[in-house]
Amino acid sequence: MTTQRSMVVLVLVLLVVGSSALMGQAQTSTTYDLTWHVIGGGGAPISSASYRVNSTAGQGAASPPAASSASYVVSSGYWRCAVAGDVNDNGVVDMDDIQAVASAWGDIPAPGYADRDGDGDVDVVDIQQVTAHWGEVC
């Protein structure tokens, strides 16, 4: 029984180590390399038509020349304040946020800021989520 348990543990350890090695390889190809060595989380978005990345660093974590190309720019920054109902991300929940939700009514605008509840459409529930935070300031 102890031998079986030891074998199971050994197999699990090998699977974890093997999958970790494969994950590192999955981040590179002949056209890009996503190797990253910064611990971050939250913060202002970095985006293009194809992707969106949210991250921060307490100090300059991305610096030229590796921080940009013709297709993208990676920048670092500090934690920013966020208010739950602030659709336009200007730091205050106000009439502009209601208008942003109303102008996207029924649609799912890319990348979906007006869809506050994340259910795939913009409706009265999204308006309610904005008004629940009315007047809050970051």
What is the domain-level CATH number for residue 132?
1.10.1330.10
Confidence category of residue 130, pLDDT binned at 50, 70, 90: very high
For 16, 35, 67, 75, the CA distances from 70, given in Å and listed in that order, are: 37, 19, 11, 14
- State the Cα–Cα distance between residues 110 and 123, nearest whole angstrom: 16
Q: Could you give the percent of the chain with pLDDT greater than 90?
A: 16
pTM above 0.95, yes or no: no
Q: Give pLDDT tens digits for 75-94.
A: 655 556 788 889 988 889 99
Look up the domain containing 122 and give its range: 82-138
User: Residue 7: enclosing H or E segment and its boundaries?
Assistant: helix 2-25
pLDDT of residue 65: 47
pLDDT of residue 96: 94
Domain count within the chain: 1
Does 33 fall in a domain?
no
Whether residue 110 is contained in a domain is answered as yes
